[in-house]
Chains A and B, each alone.
Chain A
């Protein structure tokens, strides 16, 4: 190490004093919404959540690392399918009964409509695993209770943010467009049977950050 390098090392040891906390607060106020566009998870957060947010992108393999999540998703799908089938069965029966009762009074609008046949959407699928089953039987087959569900709980989860660049607004001022990708989650719970059904729906939200020209 020559003399200049030694001098440089000594200079680096002189640490500049830190800005005050008040100044940091001032900065936060001055930044406004622009300060919250890029965020990171704090260290005590779950690793998987931080990975998604820090990189601001969604890696499909990310979800494969969480078998628990997959299991919940799979069960949710099955549960939802069972509920859908159940309601389809109920509505089919009710409408079928109504149509049987009123069938005699219906006047065909067109000659080629056979009122003796139920509407296509109400045709029962004889191949369905729940065809011909009673409510109790369906409950047994689906392993899903019919009554006793709590009100659903909704939650939104931010997956990533994408900066789409600077656009000129109709007012003429530039603005940065940032698209947020959320996953809305709805959870139905049945405490008696400790059953939960999770539904997830993707959603996008766009925010515009006005820029000052410099």
Chain B
């Protein structure tokens, strides 16, 4: 009988979003994959037999592992050495999106968000978690995550036109 492990289809659905969140949490792409692997394997070993695992469990495991790893000296040094240009989200999206000026501006605006707001936006938009699930994932109150999300959207609304103008003016000045 030709069969396929269920985790493969599960990961095909959620892997990209989880990896983006892991990149956001770890700040370093090579560490992000390790982080996601560790979190996913732990959760799947516990709950994978059911064939369906709530993505929120993996998001939470990623965050907690990231905190644990950051506490170790080696990891802390690595985080301190991180380069500002290694913006985590810039390589988390499909690069073909950069062809669309507005989408590119939107992506850059998301990158400008404070980390706390960025992780809420990531979990809400791409993780498709509810505010309640986000609150449990981040160990914050429901009101806090909802406020962060609202502030983030407000900022994005203001920043996207700025990013587009900046890009336009930059291109015109360059030309």
Contact surface of A with B, Cβ cutoff 8 Å? 3-4, 7-8, 10-19, 23-24, 26-28, 30-31, 34-42, 44-45, 49, 53-54, 56, 157-158, 161, 163, 176, 178, 209, 211-212, 214
Contact = CB atoms under 8 A, between A and B. Distances in A.
What secondary structure prevails in chain B residues at the interface with A? helix
Nearest to B9: A40
A156 to B, nearest CB: 10
Contact of B45 (A7, A8, A40, A212): A212
Contacts of A40: 3-4, 6, 9, 51
Contacts of B44: 31, 34-35
Given A7-B156, A10-B103, A26-B37, A37 B48 contact: yes
Contact of B5 (A36, A44, A157, A211): A36
A8 B45 CA distance: 34
Given A42-B3, A161-B49, A209-B45, 19 more contacts: A8-B125, A10-B106, A11-B156, A14-B97, A14-B110, A14-B126, A17-B20, A17-B95, A19-B15, A23-B37, A31-B45, A31-B48, A40-B4, A40-B6, A42-B4, A54-B51, A211-B46, A212-B45, A214-B42
B145 interface: no
Chain B interface category by residue count: 35 or more
Given A7-B157, A41-B3, A16 B16 contact: yes
10 closest residue pairs by CB, A with B: A38-B51, A16-B16, A16-B20, A39-B3, A38-B6, A163-B49, A34-B45, A11-B125, A37-B49, A19-B15
B16 A18 contact: yes
A54 B51 CA distance: 8
B46 A31 contact: no
Contacts of B5: 28, 31, 35-36, 38-39
Interface of B: 1-9, 11, 15-17, 19-20, 33, 36-37, 40-42, 44-46, 48-51, 61, 91-95, 97, 102-103, 106-107, 110, 121, 125-126, 153, 156-157, 160
